[in-house]
Amino acid sequence: MALALMTKGWSVSRWVEAIEKAAPATDVRVWPDALGNVSNIDYALAWKPDHGELKRLPALKVVYSLGAGVDHLLTDPDLPDVPIVRVVEPDMTMRMSEYVIQHVLMHHRQQRLLDQWQRDKHWDGLVQWAASDLRVGIMGLGVLGADAARKLAMIGFRVRGWSQSHKVIDGVQCFAGAGEFDDFLGGTDILVCLLPHTAETEGILNAELFARLAKDGPLGGAVLINVGRGALQVETDILAALENGDLQAATLDVFQTEPLPQESPLWSHPRVTVTPHTAADSDPDTIVRGIMAQIERFERTGELENVVDPKRGY
Amino acid sequence: MALALMTKGWSVSRWVEAIEKAAPATDVRVWPDALGNVSNIDYALAWKPDHGELKRLPALKVVYSLGAGVDHLLTDPDLPDVPIVRVVEPDMTMRMSEYVIQHVLMHHRQQRLLDQWQRDKHWDGLVQWAASDLRVGIMGLGVLGADAARKLAMIGFRVRGWSQSHKVIDGVQCFAGAGEFDDFLGGTDILVCLLPHTAETEGILNAELFARLAKDGPLGGAVLINVGRGALQVETDILAALENGDLQAATLDVFQTEPLPQESPLWSHPRVTVTPHTAADSDPDTIVRGIMAQIERFERTGELENVVDPKRGY
């Protein structure tokens, strides 16, 4: 069984080692220079390969995306007609929820103000509301969104969620579709975006949306946390909303251009927290172990999990 | 029914308003200047009154501490022989867990390194372990410690707890007493202290303890988070441990002297986070509502909850 490892912008050796550790008998071919005989490659493990490259593998059975998103594959006009499988790893879900909980808490508990107080050696009483006074709205209630929503509710927040189709999650007020979007936004103090990148969601985090968020919450304004995809956000609109009061602060892990360009004003904005797309970096060993187990099962039974619907886009 | 409000260092008007809102018929006497006729005061709501002052109230039935700790009362050599009741409010428990979860996550997810990267406009891959790779040890498994332990376990951390007497908490490895203290510390990467202040615990967070914490965890050293009492920690030992490697970082909400003196090196230490005793500030309305309901029940049935054992100290 031969497998093509096709990643861009990542350190490839960690992935090769992970494959050799999980399944020592695997014939690993590393794109772009060492694919060897392309006619006998069965599987591709891919992260942002150049468009048109997957088409070069005529015997391909399945493409595994090495991250939760698959927009990098679905935008390939020459995508071969084989199943595309997303990574859905409990480890990655746990990490994403860690990030979401941490940054929701940092906004809720006014950590940036307390950081300033520490720099000023300023000791004072702090007016602090409880988690149960704050409404956190999650856009996107797939595996990642639902897990974060459940955990935030358990910590004490009032959690609401919005998705395309209606979901039921214990302790979470669920909204669905365009008809309930306004209600969802109007009662949201902290907006967490975990939507996939599709034609419908591109640029959804824009001035019009920010204007519809709640302004009457204890934070004195709305907060945006985007851990979905950079293409969902309009960064000039985020900067404008931070000035006109539609946003009070933002935490961004993803950007329209990554790495975030040096000249972006987001880097040094006092009310913006920038992290370099680290929210849910699972380690190669965990991801590869999961994929190799899935390949073994597919070879035995023909069954696949977490197959992407190319029309829906996720 | 007359009630003495005896607080020091707090804004008294918020508390008077809260009492008037919760029980308008109450005769509120404000210490030190407006106690009126001390012979008909039934209850005291106290936070750090001067020692000897409670003794001046001959008809006192119960003293309610306005915070979770009661060390400020038990150290009074003239403490009257009436029941001392601690605040145990779900709201306060929730707030304490919010703080503990936030600061455990900030250390785990290397937020201070990411803050530095943002200041430097530095975009890079981050080596990040999962919550399940990290061992969080909670000292003190009362209502507050048990709640934080449960929630940290649910987020994915490996949680262990230590207390005087043995406890059983789902998903938490529990240690008890002096005999198991070394085992507890030796497997702890992040130590969270929620112990009460008693003769036994005073100064327990010292050089000898720091030396026994795990050094082989993914953080590259041990972390201290103290949300108990300032008297539990030896601040010169914390500073020394940050230098000799026994501690990698610390988050402190409480201090040996509060407000933390301007000249303390803790304020500006790059690996110390200082917050001004804000971890679990419940709002006066919530606390007073709980106490007034307890007084009403005590007058009717003679029953009290959360009575302190003066010998044990909590």
d(CA A190, CA A249): 9
Chain B, 283 to 302: residues with Cβ < 8 Å from chain A are: 283
We report the CATH number of the domain holding residue A78 as 3.40.50.720
Contacting residues of A for B265, CB less than 8 Å apart: none
Residue A177 lies in a domain: yes
Peptide bond between residue B58 and the one before it cis (omega within 30 degrees of 0): no
- Specify if B307 maps to a domain: no
In a mutational test of the A interface, the residue from B10, B47, B102 whose CB has the highest number of chain A CBs within 10 Å is B102
Closest-CA distance, B48 to chain A, in angstroms, reads 16
Whether residue B189 sits in one domain with residue B73:
no
List the domain range (segments joined by +) for residue A288.
2-87+282-301
**Residue A212 to residue B67: CA distance in whole angstroms:** 40
In chain B, the residue whose alpha carbon lies closest to the alpha carbon of A259 is B123
Burial (CB count within 10 angstroms: exposed 0-12, middle 13-18, buried 19+), residue A144: buried
For residue A124, the chain B residues in CB contact (below 8 A) are: 276
Q: Supply B72's token pair.
A: 């400020």
The ipTM value here is 0.92
Q: Quote the minimal CA–CA distance from B66 to chain A in Å.
A: 16
- Is B276:A123 a contact under the CB 8 Å cutoff? yes
Based on the structure, what is the number of domains in chain B?
2
Token output for A144? 């990642």
Q: Residue A306: left (phi > 0), alpha (psi -120 to 50), or beta?
A: left
Per-residue model confidence (pLDDT) at position B88: 87
Catalytic residue among A135, A229, A289, A297: A229
* Partner-chain residue, chosen from A101, A131, A274, that has the shortest CB–CB distance to B105: A101
With beta carbons under 8 A apart, name residues in chain A contacting B260.
123
Residue B308 lies in a domain: no
The alpha carbon of B87 is separated from its chain's Cα centroid by a whole number of angstroms, namely 12
Block mean pLDDT (10 aa), chain A, length 314: 92 93 95 96 96 97 92 95 93 96 98 98 94 97 97 98 96 97 98 95 98 95 97 98 98 97 98 96 89 95 94 89
Chain B contacts in chain A segment 43-82 (CB below 8 A) = none
Same domain, B114 and B228: yes
Query: What pLDDT does B282 receive?
Result: 79
Rounded Cα–Cα distance for residues A29 and A1 (Å) = 11
CA pair distance A47, A53, nearest whole angstrom:
12
Nearest CA in chain A to B107: A102
Rounded CA-CA distance B3/A220 in Å is 36
**Domain co-membership, A144 together with A25:** no
Q: How far is CA A224 from CA A54, A204, A275, B48, B184, in A?
A: 36, 12, 14, 41, 40
**Whether A147 and A222 share a structural domain:** yes
Choose, from B86, B277, B289, B312, the residue flagged as catalytic. Answer: B277
For the residues of chain A, what is the DSSP string, one character each?
-EEEEEESSS-HHHHHHHHHHH-TT-EEEETTTB---GGG--EEEEESPPTTSGGG-TT--EEEESSS--HHHHT-TT--SS-EE----HHHHHHHHHHHHHHHHHHHTTHHHHHHHHHTT---------GGG-EEEEE--SHHHHHHHHHHHHHT-EEEEEESS---BTTEEEEETGGGHHHHHHT-SEEEE-----TTTTT-BSHHHHHHS-SSSTTSS-EEEE-S-GGGB-HHHHHHHHHHTS-SEEEES--SSSSPPTT-TTTT-TTEEE--S-TT---HHHHHHHHHHHHHHHHHH---SSB--TTTT-
In a domain, residue B65? The reply is: yes
Q: What is the pLDDT of residue B67?
A: 85
Question: Is B310 inside a domain boundary?
Answer: no
Instruction: Kindly state whether A37 is in contact with chain B, defined as any CB-CB distance less than 8 angstroms.
Output: no
Judge if A195 and A295 occupy the same domain. no
Q: Are residues B206 and B61 in the same domain?
A: no
Q: Residue B158 catalytic? A: no
User: pLDDT 10s digit of each residue in chain B, 314 long?
Assistant: 899 999 998 889 999 999 999 999 999 999 999 999 999 999 999 999 999 999 999 999 999 999 888 999 999 999 999 999 998 889 999 999 999 999 999 999 999 999 999 999 999 989 999 999 999 999 999 999 999 999 999 999 999 999 999 999 999 999 999 999 999 999 999 999 999 999 999 999 999 999 999 999 999 999 999 999 999 999 999 999 999 999 999 999 999 999 999 999 999 999 999 999 999 987 899 999 999 999 999 999 999 999 999 988 88
CA B306 to chain centre: 16
Q: Are B179 and B295 part of one and the same domain?
A: no
Q: Is residue A102 located within the same domain as residue A224?
A: yes
The answer to whether the CB atoms of A94 and B131 lie below 8 A apart is: yes
Residue B265 within a domain? yes
The answer to whether residue A203 sits within a structural domain is yes
Q: Which of residues 110-169 of A touch B (CB under 8 A)?
A: 111, 114, 117-118, 121-126, 128-132, 151, 154-156
Cα–Cα distances (Å) from B190 to A11, B204, B215, B251, in that order, read 30, 16, 10, 10
> Does residue A195 sit in the same domain as residue A69?
no
Pair A139, A112 in one domain: yes
Q: Is B277 tagged catalytic?
A: yes
Residue A312 in domain:
no
pLDDT at B281: 83
The chain B residue lying nearest A107, using CA atoms, is B102
Domain check: are A163 and A260 in the same one?
Answer: yes
| Same domain, residue pair A98 and A67 | no
